[in-house]
Amino acid sequence: MTTFSDLELDPKVLKAIAEAGYETPTPIQAGAIPPALQGKDVLGIAQTGTGKTASFVLPMITMLAKGRARARMPRSLVLCPTRELAAQVAENFDTYAKHVKLTKALLIGGVSFKEQDMLIDRGVDVLIATPGRLLDHFERGKLLLTGVQVMVVDEADRMLDMGFIPDIERIFSLTPFTRQTLFFSATMAPEIERITNTFLSAPARIEVARQATTGENIEQGVVMFRYSRKEQEGSEKRALLRDIIQDEGDGLTNAIIFCNRKMDVDIVAKSLKKYGMDAAPIHGDLEQSQRMRTLDAFRDGQLKLLVASDVAARGLDVPAVSHVLNYDVPSHAEDYVHRIGRTGRAGRKGKAIMICSGRDEKNLAAIEKLVANTIPRIDLPGGTRAPAETPVTSAPDAATPETTEGKPRSSRTRSRSRSRSDTPKAPVPAAVSADPIAPEAVTADAPQPAPQPEPVEAAKAPERSQSRRGSSSRGQSRGSSDRNHVQGMGDHLPSFIALSFEERK
Ligand code: AMP
């Protein structure tokens, strides 16, 4: 078995690894570090949770330990799709480079330019950035990429989802062609394959098993959900979520609850809180400082339930997450793999439970096809409620007494679920709905405009250069097209579909 000392890393890096408590390299580390140290390009096909961050951070520190940075000319560059992931990569550098003198700067939206400018002016060894923010700095004339010796692209498949590929291509073209490239992606979509064929030179290809397909340490299950009345769907689904959480008992030490839509992230978090649970939302519309605070609280164990959207939780590295709860079936099968990969990390056991509505069954089938497995059906109280087509004659406020939120439960589970769900800690308004956030729930269940995908920096960051965006640029085309419902695309419109051809010439 390969050990870290076999990998020819700098002794100071080895010391930091030992202090971090890591004994043996993970397969992606054992596979990627040797060619990276030999100066070769690396194509790593691995998802988060496999130790892929250290597989580029460790050789980079070793290589950068010699030499000095020049003003405005970073020696290496790490591109990440989201701010959170960029911040996490920066933390990895802090951990593993603590005995090596290295300077780094983090260029992400939501953080002031001034401080970053000062660091870059002095010269940095490592620049960690999201693509939009990096190009903003470049266009302001504050940065030269001609000194980049090593460039990392992390989570390229997510870059593709977020419409960053044109930016990535541009950044590649701004760096010297002699650079070394370390490129990581969980999947190899044709567009990713094209980029790697164009910009990587004879890469060492290391592919590690996906967690979801091996997945022995993640217990998975799906609860089939049928609302009894359309207008009660949201509140019934939230009651089911509470049932699931309570059913897991003490085994659920903390959980990430994924929703497909930002609006649901807010509603679900609010509902859980009103029922006395320790929950907070995180999605791209929240202030960066608030997102960071919430993430820190979750990481530190002060927050038990993190209700999240896919992009906001992307790359979130909390080693001990006991549960992932999918409030919705993700509309992209790949996202299921990413979501459940938040639990069962670093060799621990994890559990992933998903709620599947009737309309989500197609997506569930796509997931099962992708992971080449059937996800076991869990029989939970309220899991299979009255079928949607069952005629309901009673008025909305004539809720049967044995329901949580105005709908009958199956007789099999009635007594179990009543004891929990019928006793919300918050005051229950009259019989219309026991869910204290019913007004929003009604809004949520009412016909909605097509949900906006998570904001990417292009769409969000006001500081982003207008000149680059132009009238047909990504940021604008996303915004406008997202407001139109796209038939046949489900709830998620990948941003690359909205790209104009002109921009890509
Ligand atoms: P990543 O895939 O980079 O997001 O890393 C997943 C988790 O594995 C992180 O919590 C790392 O700190 C941890 N980790 C990375 N390398 C190792 C290793 N060799 N042994 C044990 N844990 C590791």
Q: Are 172 and 196 in contact (CB under 8 A)?
A: no
Q: Are 92 and 130 in contact (CB under 8 A)?
A: no
- What local confidence, expressed as pLDDT, does residue 459 receive? 35
Pair 190, 50 in one domain:
yes
Pair 183, 222 in one domain:
no
Residue 315 Cα: closest atom of ligand 1? 4
β pairing state of 279-282 and 204-207 = unpaired
**Number of Cβ within a 10 Å radius of residue 318:** 17
CA–CA separation, 301 and 279 (whole Å): 12
Pair 178, 254 in one domain:
no
Domain closes at, from 372, 403, 434: 403
- What local confidence, expressed as pLDDT, does residue 115 receive? 84
Please report where in the chains the tokens 């929950």 appear, as a residue: 279
Residue 2 Cα to ligand 1 midpoint, Å, equals: 16
Pair 249, 181 in one domain:
no
Residue 250 lies in a domain: yes
- What local confidence, expressed as pLDDT, does residue 314 receive? 65
Residue 50 Cα to ligand 1 midpoint, Å, equals: 6
Closest listed residue to residue 318, CA positions, set 282, 287, 348:
348
Going by CA atoms, what residue is nearest to atom 10 of ligand 1?
319
- What local confidence, expressed as pLDDT, does residue 210 receive? 57
Residue 346 Cα to ligand 1 midpoint, Å, equals: 6
Residue 313 lies in a domain: yes
The CATH number of whichever domain residue 160 belongs to comes to 3.40.50.300
Listed in sequence order, the residues at least 6 apart from 11 whose beta carbon sits closer than 8 Å to its beta carbon are none
Q: What is the 3-state secondary structure (H, E, C) of 194-210?
A: HHHHHHCCCCEEEECCC
CA distances from 129 to 162, 169, 188, 450 (A): 15, 15, 22, 30
Starting at the edge strand found earlier in the chain, the sheet holding 204-207 runs 104-107, 126-129, 76-79, 150-153, 180-185, 42-45, 204-207
What stretches in the chain show pLDDT beneath 70? 209-216, 313-317, 346-347, 381-505
Residue 323 Cα to ligand 1 midpoint, Å, equals: 18
Pair 202, 237 in one domain:
no
For 428-467, the pLDDT digits (tens) are 333 333 444 543 333 333 333 334 433 333 333 333 333 3
Task: Look up the domain containing 324 and give its range.
Answer: 218-403
Amino acid at 156: A
- What local confidence, expressed as pLDDT, does residue 458 receive? 35
Pair 193, 239 in one domain:
no
In the chain, the number of structural domains is: 3
Residue 437 lies in a domain: no
Pair 87, 174 in one domain:
yes
Going by CA atoms, what residue is nearest to atom 12 of ligand 1?
51
Residue 355 lies in a domain: yes
**Radius of gyration (C-alpha) of the chain in whole angstroms:** 24
Residue 426 lies in a domain: no
Pair 266, 370 in one domain:
yes
Structure tokens at 462: 């006001």
- What local confidence, expressed as pLDDT, does residue 48 receive? 80
Ligand 1-lining residues (CB < 6 angstroms): 22, 25-26, 29, 48-54, 317, 319, 345-346
- What local confidence, expressed as pLDDT, does residue 418 receive? 33
Residue 66 lies in a domain: yes
Residue 119 lies in a domain: yes
For 36-80, the pLDDT digits (tens) are 999 999 999 988 878 899 999 999 999 999 888 899 999 999 999
Question: Which of 19, 26, 60 should be mutated for ligand 1, with most atoms under 8 A from CB?
Answer: 26
Residue 412 lies in a domain: no
Going by CA atoms, what residue is nearest to atom 16 of ligand 1?
51
Domain closes at, from 403, 434, 454: 403
Residue 466, class by beta-carbon neighbours within 10 Å (0-12 exposed, 13-18 middle, 19+ buried)? Answer: exposed
Domain closes at, from 373, 403, 433: 403
Pair 240, 271 in one domain:
yes
Pair 181, 54 in one domain:
yes
Pair 82, 186 in one domain:
yes
CA–CA separation, 314 and 342 (whole Å): 9
Pair 188, 225 in one domain:
no
Using a cut of 0.95, tell me whether the model's pTM lies above it: no
